[in-house]
Amino acid sequence: MKLYDYPGAPNPRRVKIFLAEKGMDYDIVNCDMSKGEHKKPEFLRKNPSGKLPVLELDDGRCLSESVAICRYLEMIKPDPNLFGKDAYESGHIEMRNRQIEFELWSQIGTSWVNGPIVAKMGLVKSIPEAKELSDANVRRYYERLDHEFSDFEYVAGSRFTVADITLLTAVDFAAALVELKPDYSLRNLWRWHTLVSGRASVE
């Protein structure tokens, strides 16, 4: 199978960490977003949404959306388990993963889209008011996470799951490219970050 990737992009990174956790082999195909290759007809046939990552199976079928790709991989290679072992744990991990996506990732995305790097690309008109609000939401959410990590070692409890990959890639992207690094006073959040960043799967 082939993974369409763009180095540095956070969503392909989620899938690459997941694949490394599973110990699965795959080929990388570089899709140069800086040249708009993800919006060209050939790529849009693989993913009409024009986004990375895409997983192309050996029979030519394609899957997109990071978590959808990861769920497919979990089903073809169940160990180590990253999505939950029983009904409650599966629901709980899905809940935690979605909270990170809808309450943190979405706000980081708004800050990114309305920030200086995207403005320079000239693709969309920045809305500074929207960025102010999302910046504040991100900082507030970091505080909630710091509080939660005083009780739990990982995002969904006592073990590493897909929800940790979602949070790690969000925080690293926010810190590197959106000027939203968590404050160092948030010690529980940083304790978690150091723990997860040290895994062999994380690059």
Q: Write out the residues near a second copy by the rule CB under 8 A.
A: 48-49, 57, 61, 63-65, 67-69, 71-72, 75-76, 86-88, 90-92, 94-95, 98-99, 102-103, 106, 124-125, 127, 129-130, 133, 144
Q: Which is nearer to a second copy, 11 or 31 (CB)?
A: 11
Measured from the CB of residue 200, what is the shortest distance to a second copy in angstroms? 25
Sequence-separated (6 or more) residues with CB below 8 Å from residue 104 = 138, 141, 145, 167, 170
CA distance 75 to 82: 11
Q: Which is nearer to a second copy, 80 or 91 (CB)?
A: 91
Contact between 3 and 19 under an 8 Å Cβ cutoff? The reply is yes
Q: Which is nearer to a second copy, 77 or 187 (CB)?
A: 77
Measured from the CB of residue 198, what is the shortest distance to a second copy in angstroms? 28
- For residue 182, what is the DSSP state? P
Sign of the Cα pseudo-torsion (195, 161, 201, 169, in order): negative
Measured from the CB of residue 124, what is the shortest distance to a second copy in angstroms? 8
Q: Which is nearer to a second copy, 31 or 73 (CB)?
A: 73
CA distance 134 to 153: 27
Residue 139 token pair: 């900082």
Q: Which is nearer to a second copy, 153 or 202 (CB)?
A: 153
CA distance 49 to 15: 18
Q: Which residues of 166-179 are buried (b: 16+ CB within 10 A; e: fewer)?
A: bbbbbbbbbeebbe
Measured from the CB of residue 185, what is the shortest distance to a second copy in angstroms? 21
Measured from the CB of residue 175, what is the shortest distance to a second copy in angstroms? 22
CA distance 140 to 137: 5
Q: Which is nearer to a second copy, 45 or 125 (CB)?
A: 125
Chain Cα centroid distance, residue 32: 19
Measured from the CB of residue 187, what is the shortest distance to a second copy in angstroms? 20
